[in-house]
Structures are given as structure tokens and as C-alpha cells.
Amino acid sequence: MSFYAKIKDQVTELTGQFNYPNDGTAFGHFILRECFNKIIDFEYDGTDYDSFIKDHIVDMANDLGNDAIFTNQKNREIIVFQFKYSNGQLLNTNEIKKNKKIH
């Protein structure tokens, strides 16, 4: 099984498990769980990390490209994520630029 296929299987599982509207939203969950929790302090000390992630996913219409937002009060940080889950096609440049509109 290819690396992409392994990720796709896990993303598809998260889509169903958390009732995400699509695999693109679930991909953000996958990346936060598998990568960023190892390098960013999200100030989480509970036991249900998946539900914590789901509570911070904001991927929806008119989100200006923001897919997840976290705060770290100790460091006085707001951490904004934008994820792209591609089917192999190149991304539209407007997708990349739209989160620059945030005020």
C-alpha cells in the first residue's frame, strides 16, 4: 500500500468517525493529530485529543481559508491553520491567497 493510500484510509475513517463534511476537513484533523501536536503546545492536558481537535476545526463556507484555530494563552499566541487535501490536481492560487483577507 502506498504512503498516500495509508493517509487516505485514515482520513476517510476520520471523516466518518467525526461526521466531517468531506475528506479535506478530516485531513486537517489527521495532520493536527499526527504532526503538529508533537511540535506545538496546544495547552491540552485531557484524554480525548480527537474531540479537542474537532472543537477547533472551523473549516466551512466563508472561513477565509482558515481551517483550524487554536490559542495558547501562556505564550499569548493565536495559531491558525490552513490545510489542503488534493486529489493530485494543482491548487487554485485564489485558495492560497484568500486567508490573507483576515482582519
What's the domain range around 45?
3-101
Determine contact, residues 81/32, Cβ cutoff 8 Å.
Answer: yes
Q: Which of 30, 22, 73 is nearest to 49 (CA)?
A: 30
Sign of CA dihedral 21, 23, 25, 29: positive
The number of distinct structural domains making up the chain is 1
Q: What does each of the 103 residues of the chain score in pLDDT, given as a tens digit? A: 788 889 899 999 999 999 999 898 999 999 999 888 777 878 888 889 899 999 999 877 777 778 899 988 888 988 888 888 876 655 566 665 665 555 4
C-alpha cell at 47: 484524554
Angle ∠(23,26,28) on CA atoms, nearest 5: 120
